[in-house]
Amino acid sequence: MIRSDVLKSLIPVISDHLVVCNIGLPSQEMHMLDDQPNNFYMLGTMGLASSIGLGVALAQSEKVIAIDGDGSVLTNFGTLPTIANNVADNFILLIIDNGSYGSTGDQPTYAGMKTSLAAVATACGCETVIECQAEDAAETVQAALDSDKMTIIVCKCQSGNIKVPVIQMDPVVIRDRFMKEIQARNG
Amino acid sequence: MSVDKKIVADLVNNKVEFVTTVPCKQLAGVIDEIEKCPDIYHIPSNKEDEGMGLCAGAFMGGKRPAIIMQNTAIGVTINTLVTLTQFYRMPLPMLISYRGEVGEPVACQVEMAVHTKALLAQLNIPTYHFHHEDDVNELDGILAHAFMSNKPVAILTDASFWKGY
Ligand SMILES: [Mg+2]
Protein backbone atom coordinates (compact mmCIF):
# COMPACT_ATOMS: atom_id res chain seq x y z
CA MET A 1 0.00 0.00 0.00
CA ILE A 2 1.15 3.53 -0.76
CA ARG A 3 0.11 6.69 1.14
CA SER A 4 -2.98 7.33 -0.95
CA ASP A 5 -4.21 3.78 -0.21
CA VAL A 6 -3.62 4.38 3.51
CA LEU A 7 -5.55 7.66 3.39
CA LYS A 8 -8.41 5.98 1.53
CA SER A 9 -8.58 3.25 4.18
CA LEU A 10 -8.65 5.90 6.92
CA ILE A 11 -11.58 7.96 5.62
CA PRO A 12 -14.33 6.03 7.46
CA VAL A 13 -12.37 6.39 10.71
CA ILE A 14 -11.24 10.02 10.55
CA SER A 15 -13.93 11.67 8.43
CA ASP A 16 -15.90 13.01 11.42
CA HIS A 17 -12.86 14.43 13.20
CA LEU A 18 -10.74 17.54 12.89
CA VAL A 19 -7.84 16.74 10.56
CA VAL A 20 -4.73 18.84 9.98
CA CYS A 21 -3.05 17.60 6.84
CA ASN A 22 0.57 17.88 5.78
CA ILE A 23 1.73 19.99 2.82
CA GLY A 24 1.79 18.66 -0.73
CA LEU A 25 0.37 15.38 -1.91
CA PRO A 26 -1.14 14.28 1.45
CA SER A 27 -3.33 17.41 1.54
CA GLN A 28 -4.13 17.08 -2.16
CA GLU A 29 -5.14 13.44 -1.68
CA MET A 30 -7.29 14.22 1.36
CA HIS A 31 -8.89 17.07 -0.56
CA MET A 32 -9.67 14.78 -3.48
CA LEU A 33 -10.92 11.88 -1.30
CA ASP A 34 -12.95 13.65 1.37
CA ASP A 35 -12.97 17.45 1.22
CA GLN A 36 -14.91 18.97 4.10
CA PRO A 37 -14.69 21.94 6.49
CA ASN A 38 -13.17 19.88 9.31
CA ASN A 39 -10.03 19.36 7.20
CA PHE A 40 -7.24 21.91 7.36
CA TYR A 41 -4.91 21.72 4.38
CA MET A 42 -1.38 23.05 4.61
CA LEU A 43 -0.50 24.74 1.33
CA GLY A 44 3.01 25.67 2.46
CA THR A 45 5.36 25.56 5.45
CA MET A 46 6.78 22.04 5.39
CA GLY A 47 7.09 20.41 8.78
CA LEU A 48 4.49 22.22 10.84
CA ALA A 49 1.45 19.90 10.57
CA SER A 50 2.16 18.35 13.98
CA SER A 51 2.68 21.77 15.59
CA ILE A 52 -0.53 23.19 14.12
CA GLY A 53 -2.41 20.05 15.12
CA LEU A 54 -1.11 20.18 18.70
CA GLY A 55 -2.05 23.87 18.90
CA VAL A 56 -5.61 23.11 17.80
CA ALA A 57 -5.84 20.20 20.27
CA LEU A 58 -4.59 22.27 23.22
CA ALA A 59 -6.95 25.16 22.46
CA GLN A 60 -10.24 23.22 22.38
CA SER A 61 -11.69 19.83 23.28
CA GLU A 62 -12.58 18.08 20.00
CA LYS A 63 -10.30 15.31 18.77
CA VAL A 64 -7.62 16.33 16.31
CA ILE A 65 -5.67 14.07 13.96
CA ALA A 66 -2.55 15.54 12.39
CA ILE A 67 -1.54 13.60 9.30
CA ASP A 68 2.17 14.07 8.87
CA GLY A 69 4.94 12.45 6.85
CA ASP A 70 8.36 11.06 7.70
CA GLY A 71 10.15 13.79 5.75
CA SER A 72 8.13 16.53 7.42
CA VAL A 73 8.74 15.19 10.92
CA LEU A 74 12.46 15.02 10.13
CA THR A 75 12.26 18.69 9.11
CA ASN A 76 10.64 19.71 12.43
CA PHE A 77 12.15 17.22 14.90
CA GLY A 78 11.75 19.73 17.72
CA THR A 79 8.02 19.06 17.62
CA LEU A 80 8.31 15.65 19.32
CA PRO A 81 9.64 16.90 22.72
CA THR A 82 7.02 19.67 22.66
CA ILE A 83 4.26 17.13 22.02
CA ALA A 84 5.63 14.79 24.71
CA ASN A 85 5.71 17.53 27.34
CA ASN A 86 2.36 19.15 26.50
CA VAL A 87 0.03 16.18 26.62
CA ALA A 88 -3.30 16.67 24.84
CA ASP A 89 -5.36 13.50 25.08
CA ASN A 90 -7.52 14.69 22.17
CA PHE A 91 -4.48 14.64 19.86
CA ILE A 92 -3.30 11.92 17.50
CA LEU A 93 -0.19 12.39 15.40
CA LEU A 94 -0.27 9.99 12.48
CA ILE A 95 3.07 9.88 10.70
CA ILE A 96 2.69 8.14 7.37
CA ASP A 97 6.22 6.86 6.92
CA ASN A 98 6.93 5.85 3.35
CA GLY A 99 10.67 6.36 3.77
CA SER A 100 10.70 9.08 1.15
CA TYR A 101 9.98 12.69 0.35
CA GLY A 102 6.90 11.76 -1.65
CA SER A 103 5.80 15.18 -2.88
CA THR A 104 9.19 16.00 -4.37
CA GLY A 105 9.79 12.80 -6.31
CA ASP A 106 10.33 10.07 -3.71
CA GLN A 107 13.88 10.93 -2.71
CA PRO A 108 14.76 8.61 0.22
CA THR A 109 14.60 9.93 3.81
CA TYR A 110 16.70 8.76 6.75
CA ALA A 111 13.48 7.33 8.23
CA GLY A 112 13.66 4.69 5.52
CA MET A 113 17.27 3.93 6.47
CA LYS A 114 18.66 3.63 10.01
CA THR A 115 16.41 6.14 11.78
CA SER A 116 13.30 4.90 13.59
CA LEU A 117 10.75 7.68 14.10
CA ALA A 118 8.89 5.56 16.66
CA ALA A 119 12.09 5.16 18.69
CA VAL A 120 12.77 8.89 18.42
CA ALA A 121 9.23 9.75 19.59
CA THR A 122 9.63 7.39 22.53
CA ALA A 123 13.03 8.85 23.40
CA CYS A 124 11.47 12.33 23.30
CA GLY A 125 9.07 11.25 26.03
CA CYS A 126 5.91 10.48 24.06
CA GLU A 127 4.13 7.93 26.22
CA THR A 128 1.97 6.14 23.66
CA VAL A 129 3.83 5.41 20.44
CA ILE A 130 2.63 2.73 18.05
CA GLU A 131 4.31 1.57 14.87
CA CYS A 132 1.97 -0.20 12.47
CA GLN A 133 1.89 -1.48 8.93
CA ALA A 134 -0.21 0.23 6.26
CA GLU A 135 -2.86 -2.52 6.29
CA ASP A 136 -3.51 -1.90 10.00
CA ALA A 137 -3.66 1.90 9.83
CA ALA A 138 -7.46 2.29 10.11
CA GLU A 139 -7.73 -0.14 13.00
CA THR A 140 -4.81 1.49 14.82
CA VAL A 141 -6.19 5.01 14.43
CA GLN A 142 -9.65 3.85 15.57
CA ALA A 143 -8.11 2.26 18.68
CA ALA A 144 -6.19 5.47 19.40
CA LEU A 145 -9.39 7.53 19.07
CA ASP A 146 -11.19 5.14 21.42
CA SER A 147 -8.38 5.25 23.99
CA ASP A 148 -8.73 8.98 24.78
CA LYS A 149 -4.95 9.09 25.09
CA MET A 150 -2.54 11.20 23.08
CA THR A 151 -1.04 8.76 20.60
CA ILE A 152 1.78 8.92 18.09
CA ILE A 153 1.32 6.44 15.26
CA VAL A 154 4.08 5.69 12.79
CA CYS A 155 2.43 3.93 9.87
CA LYS A 156 4.92 2.21 7.56
CA CYS A 157 3.94 2.08 3.90
CA GLN A 158 5.45 1.89 0.44
CA SER A 159 6.58 4.99 -1.37
CA GLY A 160 4.76 6.00 -4.53
CA ASN A 161 2.25 8.55 -5.67
CA ILE A 162 -0.95 8.87 -7.64
CA LYS A 163 -1.88 11.83 -9.84
CA VAL A 164 -3.87 14.42 -7.91
CA PRO A 165 -4.90 17.97 -8.72
CA VAL A 166 -3.46 20.85 -6.69
CA ILE A 167 -5.77 22.53 -4.21
CA GLN A 168 -7.16 25.72 -5.66
CA MET A 169 -9.20 26.74 -2.63
CA ASP A 170 -8.15 30.07 -1.12
CA PRO A 171 -6.17 29.63 2.13
CA VAL A 172 -8.42 32.07 3.99
CA VAL A 173 -11.45 29.99 2.97
CA ILE A 174 -9.75 26.80 4.22
CA ARG A 175 -8.92 28.50 7.51
CA ASP A 176 -12.27 30.22 7.95
CA ARG A 177 -14.45 27.18 7.37
CA PHE A 178 -12.17 25.09 9.62
CA MET A 179 -12.51 27.66 12.43
CA LYS A 180 -16.29 27.89 12.03
CA GLU A 181 -16.52 24.10 12.20
CA ILE A 182 -14.42 24.06 15.38
CA GLN A 183 -16.55 26.82 16.93
CA ALA A 184 -19.77 24.98 16.10
CA ARG A 185 -18.49 21.70 17.52
CA ASN A 186 -17.30 23.32 20.73
CA GLY A 187 -20.69 24.96 21.22
CA MET B 1 4.22 47.59 38.20
CA SER B 2 7.39 46.14 36.63
CA VAL B 3 7.70 46.10 32.84
CA ASP B 4 7.49 42.29 32.89
CA LYS B 5 4.23 42.33 34.88
CA LYS B 6 2.80 45.11 32.71
CA ILE B 7 3.49 43.11 29.52
CA VAL B 8 1.75 40.04 30.90
CA ALA B 9 -1.18 42.15 32.19
CA ASP B 10 -1.61 43.61 28.69
CA LEU B 11 -1.56 40.11 27.16
CA VAL B 12 -4.27 38.98 29.59
CA ASN B 13 -6.27 42.17 29.00
CA ASN B 14 -6.24 41.37 25.28
CA LYS B 15 -7.40 37.80 25.96
CA VAL B 16 -4.12 36.22 24.88
CA GLU B 17 -4.30 32.75 26.41
CA PHE B 18 -1.62 30.81 24.52
CA VAL B 19 1.98 31.98 24.50
CA THR B 20 4.98 30.19 23.07
CA THR B 21 8.50 31.27 23.92
CA VAL B 22 12.06 30.72 22.82
CA PRO B 23 14.26 32.30 25.47
CA CYS B 24 16.60 35.29 25.39
CA LYS B 25 18.45 36.83 28.34
CA GLN B 26 16.51 40.08 27.93
CA LEU B 27 13.21 38.18 28.01
CA ALA B 28 13.94 36.00 31.05
CA GLY B 29 11.79 38.11 33.41
CA VAL B 30 8.76 38.26 31.14
CA ILE B 31 8.98 34.53 30.40
CA ASP B 32 8.96 33.88 34.18
CA GLU B 33 5.81 35.99 34.51
CA ILE B 34 4.16 34.15 31.60
CA GLU B 35 4.93 30.82 33.25
CA LYS B 36 3.38 32.06 36.53
CA CYS B 37 0.26 33.55 34.92
CA PRO B 38 -2.80 31.31 35.49
CA ASP B 39 -4.67 32.83 32.52
CA ILE B 40 -2.01 31.88 29.95
CA TYR B 41 -1.01 28.46 28.67
CA HIS B 42 2.78 28.69 28.30
CA ILE B 43 4.28 26.31 25.77
CA PRO B 44 8.01 26.66 25.22
CA SER B 45 9.00 25.76 21.67
CA ASN B 46 12.32 24.45 20.41
CA LYS B 47 12.46 26.64 17.33
CA GLU B 48 10.48 29.73 16.45
CA ASP B 49 8.88 28.33 13.29
CA GLU B 50 7.57 25.42 15.35
CA GLY B 51 6.19 28.03 17.78
CA MET B 52 4.41 29.83 14.97
CA GLY B 53 2.80 26.53 13.94
CA LEU B 54 1.57 26.04 17.50
CA CYS B 55 0.20 29.60 17.50
CA ALA B 56 -1.59 29.06 14.18
CA GLY B 57 -3.25 25.95 15.59
CA ALA B 58 -4.23 27.64 18.86
CA PHE B 59 -5.74 30.55 16.94
CA MET B 60 -7.84 28.21 14.80
CA GLY B 61 -8.83 26.36 17.96
CA GLY B 62 -10.21 29.59 19.41
CA LYS B 63 -7.39 30.92 21.60
CA ARG B 64 -5.51 34.16 20.94
CA PRO B 65 -1.78 33.38 20.62
CA ALA B 66 1.47 35.30 20.95
CA ILE B 67 5.12 34.42 20.48
CA ILE B 68 8.08 35.71 22.47
CA MET B 69 11.47 35.33 20.79
CA GLN B 70 14.75 36.97 19.82
CA ASN B 71 15.26 38.99 16.63
CA THR B 72 17.57 36.27 15.29
CA ALA B 73 14.35 34.29 14.84
CA ILE B 74 13.27 36.54 11.99
CA GLY B 75 15.91 34.76 9.95
CA VAL B 76 14.46 31.39 10.98
CA THR B 77 10.79 32.15 10.39
CA ILE B 78 10.43 34.10 7.14
CA ASN B 79 8.92 31.16 5.27
CA THR B 80 6.47 30.42 8.09
CA LEU B 81 5.44 34.06 8.45
CA VAL B 82 4.76 34.29 4.72
CA THR B 83 3.24 30.89 3.87
CA LEU B 84 1.33 30.26 7.11
CA THR B 85 0.64 33.37 9.20
CA GLN B 86 0.20 35.82 6.33
CA PHE B 87 -1.10 33.47 3.62
CA TYR B 88 -3.95 32.25 5.87
CA ARG B 89 -4.39 35.74 7.43
CA MET B 90 -3.80 34.96 11.07
CA PRO B 91 -2.95 37.38 13.87
CA LEU B 92 0.35 36.93 15.70
CA PRO B 93 1.83 39.44 18.12
CA MET B 94 5.58 38.84 18.25
CA LEU B 95 7.32 40.27 21.30
CA ILE B 96 10.92 40.33 20.14
CA SER B 97 14.09 41.06 22.05
CA TYR B 98 16.05 43.35 19.75
CA ARG B 99 19.57 42.16 20.40
CA GLY B 100 22.53 43.89 18.77
CA GLU B 101 21.49 47.47 19.54
CA VAL B 102 23.45 50.01 21.64
CA GLY B 103 24.48 48.39 24.90
CA GLU B 104 24.93 44.96 23.29
CA PRO B 105 28.03 43.13 24.55
CA VAL B 106 28.05 40.38 21.91
CA ALA B 107 29.33 41.53 18.51
CA CYS B 108 27.66 38.72 16.57
CA GLN B 109 24.22 39.96 17.64
CA VAL B 110 24.81 43.19 15.70
CA GLU B 111 25.04 41.19 12.47
CA MET B 112 21.36 40.23 12.73
CA ALA B 113 20.30 43.55 14.26
CA VAL B 114 21.26 45.40 11.08
CA HIS B 115 18.90 43.21 9.04
CA THR B 116 15.99 43.01 11.48
CA LYS B 117 13.97 46.09 10.50
CA ALA B 118 14.72 45.69 6.80
CA LEU B 119 13.42 42.12 6.82
CA LEU B 120 10.27 43.09 8.73
CA ALA B 121 9.70 45.97 6.31
CA GLN B 122 10.18 43.66 3.32
CA LEU B 123 7.52 41.37 4.82
CA ASN B 124 5.11 44.31 5.35
CA ILE B 125 4.88 43.44 9.03
CA PRO B 126 3.75 46.36 11.23
CA THR B 127 6.78 47.00 13.44
CA TYR B 128 7.07 48.94 16.71
CA HIS B 129 10.35 49.70 18.49
CA PHE B 130 10.35 49.98 22.29
CA HIS B 131 13.42 51.98 23.36
CA HIS B 132 12.29 53.84 26.51
CA GLU B 133 10.59 52.10 29.39
CA ASP B 134 7.45 54.22 28.87
CA ASP B 135 7.07 52.76 25.37
CA VAL B 136 5.51 49.72 27.05
CA ASN B 137 2.33 51.80 27.38
CA GLU B 138 1.75 51.27 23.66
CA LEU B 139 1.59 47.50 23.99
CA ASP B 140 -2.11 47.27 24.85
CA GLY B 141 -3.06 49.12 21.66
CA ILE B 142 -0.59 47.17 19.51
CA LEU B 143 -2.04 43.85 20.68
CA ALA B 144 -5.57 45.02 19.88
CA HIS B 145 -4.30 46.15 16.47
CA ALA B 146 -2.80 42.72 15.69
CA PHE B 147 -6.10 40.92 16.44
CA MET B 148 -8.19 43.56 14.66
CA SER B 149 -6.11 43.29 11.49
CA ASN B 150 -5.38 39.51 11.54
CA LYS B 151 -1.71 40.20 10.92
CA PRO B 152 1.60 39.32 12.48
CA VAL B 153 2.94 42.36 14.33
CA ALA B 154 6.50 42.85 15.59
CA ILE B 155 7.37 44.62 18.85
CA LEU B 156 11.14 45.10 19.00
CA THR B 157 12.42 45.65 22.53
CA ASP B 158 16.04 46.81 22.77
CA ALA B 159 18.63 46.84 25.56
CA SER B 160 17.79 50.42 26.59
CA PHE B 161 14.15 49.40 27.04
CA TRP B 162 15.25 46.51 29.26
CA LYS B 163 17.75 48.81 31.02
CA GLY B 164 20.67 46.78 29.78
CA TYR B 165 19.17 43.57 31.25
MG1 LIG C 1 7.36 10.50 3.17
pLDDT above 80 for B164: no
CA distances from A178 to A18, B97, B108 (A): 8, 33, 43
B59 and A47 within 8 Å at the Cβ level: the answer is no
pTM (2 d.p.): 0.98
CATH of domain B3-160: 3.40.50.970
Among candidates B69, B42, B60, B83, which has minimal Cα distance to A66? B60
- pLDDT at residue B1, rounded to an integer: 82
Interchain proximity B59–A55, CB inside 8 Å: yes
For residue B165, pLDDT over 70 is answered with no
Q: How far does the centroid of ligand 1 lie from the alpha carbon of residue A134, in Å?
A: 13
- Percent with pLDDT over 90 in chain B: 96
> Min CA distance, B40 vs chain A (Å)?
11
Instruction: State the Cα–Cα distance between residues B155 and B66, nearest whole angstrom.
Output: 11
pLDDT of residue B163: 87
- List all residues 6 or more positions away from A125 whose beta carbon is below 8 Å from its beta carbon: A81, A84, A85
Alpha-carbon span B48 to A51, nearest angstrom: 11
Name the pairing type of β-strands A18-21 and A39-41.
Answer: parallel
* Cβ-Cβ contacts under 8 Å, B23 against chain A: none
Distance A116 CA to ligand 1 centre (A): 13
Choose the closest CB to B60 out of A47, A49, A175.
A175
Residue A59 has pLDDT above 80, yes or no: yes
Domain boundaries, chain A: 3-186
- Check pLDDT > 90 for residue A98: yes
B150 and chain A: CB distance < 8 Å anywhere? no
What fold characterizes domain A3-186?
A: Rossmann fold (3.40.50)
Distance of alpha carbon B87 from alpha carbon B69, whole angstroms: 21
- In the predicted model, is pLDDT for residue A128 greater than 80? yes
Q: What is the mean pLDDT of residues B52-57?
A: 98
Bridge partner residues of A94 (DSSP): A67, A153
Collect all residues with Cβ–Cβ distance below 8 Å to B63 and sequence separation of at least 6: A58, A59, A60, B17, B18, B41
Q: Do A182 and B55 touch (CB under 8 A)?
A: no
